[in-house]
Amino acid sequence: MRHFWTIASKEIRSYFNSPIAYVLIAVFLIINGYLFFSIVSFASRQSVQLLRFQGAAPQINLNELVFRPTFHNMSVVLLLIMPILTMRLFSEEKKTKTAELLLTSPLTISEIVLGKYLGALIIYLSMLGLTFYMPLLLSIYSQLNWGTLLSGYLGLFLLGSVFISIGLFASSLTENQIIAALASFGLLLLIWLLGWAAATVEGTGMGEVLSYLSILDHFDGLLRGLVETRTVVYYLSLVALGLFLTHRVVESQRWK
Amino acid sequence: MIQVEHLTKQFGNRVAIQDLSFEVSKGEVLGFLGPNGAGKTTTMRILTGFMPATTGTARVAGYDVWESPQEVKRRIGYLPEQPPLYNDMTVTEYLKFVARIKGISPKQIKNSVQQVGEQCSLDEVRGRLIGNLSRGFRQRVGLAQALIHRPEVLILDEPTSGLDPKQIIEVRQLIKGLQGTHTVILSTHILPEVTAVCQRVVIINEGRVMAVDTQEGLSAKLRKSEKIGLKIKSPSPDCIEKLKAIPGVLNVFHETGLGQDGYPYVVESQLGQDIREELARYVVANDWGLLEMRPIAMTLEDVFLRLTAEELER
Across the interface, whether the CB atoms of A255 and B52 are under 8 A apart is answered: yes
Distance CA A168, CA A180 (A): 9
Strands B153-157 and B76-79: parallel
Which carries the bigger pLDDT value, residue A42 or residue A47?
A42
Q: Does B61 touch chain A (CB under 8 A)?
A: no
Specify the 3-state DSSP secondary structure of B310: helix
pLDDT band for position A145 (50/70/90)?
Answer: confident
pLDDT at position B312 is 59
Which of B43, B86, B102, B185 should be substituted to probe chain A, the one whose Cβ sees the most A Cβ atoms within 10 Å? Answer: B86
Strands B290-295 and B226-232: antiparallel
Chain B nearest-CA residue for A19: B88
CB A99 within 8 A of CB A90: yes
Across the interface, whether the CB atoms of A254 and B50 are under 8 A apart is answered: yes
Distance CA A38, CA A224 (A): 21
- DSSP secondary structure code for residue B179 in this structure: B
The dihedral built from the CA positions of residue B238, B241, B244 and B247, taken in this order, carries a sign that is negative
User: Which residues in chain B touch residue A108, judged by CB atoms under 8 angstroms apart?
Assistant: 70
Which of A20, A104, A250 should be substituted to probe chain B, the one whose Cβ sees the most B Cβ atoms within 10 Å? Answer: A104
Is this complex's ipTM strictly greater than 0.90?
A: no
The dihedral built from the CA positions of residue B210, B213, B214 and B220, taken in this order, carries a sign that is negative
- DSSP secondary structure code for residue B186 in this structure: E
| Whether this model's pTM surpasses 0.90 | no
Question: B99 to each of A114, A124, B183, how far by Cα in Å?
Answer: 20, 28, 20
Write out pLDDT tens, residues A25-45.
999 999 999 999 999 999 888
- What tens-digit pLDDT sequence spans chain B (314 residues)? 888 888 898 888 888 888 888 888 888 899 888 877 788 889 999 999 888 888 988 999 889 988 888 889 999 999 998 999 999 999 999 999 999 999 899 899 999 999 999 888 888 999 999 999 988 889 889 999 999 999 999 999 988 877 888 888 888 888 888 888 889 999 887 777 777 788 888 888 888 888 888 877 766 666 667 778 888 887 777 777 888 888 778 888 777 655 566 777 888 887 777 788 888 888 888 888 888 888 776 666 677 777 777 665 65
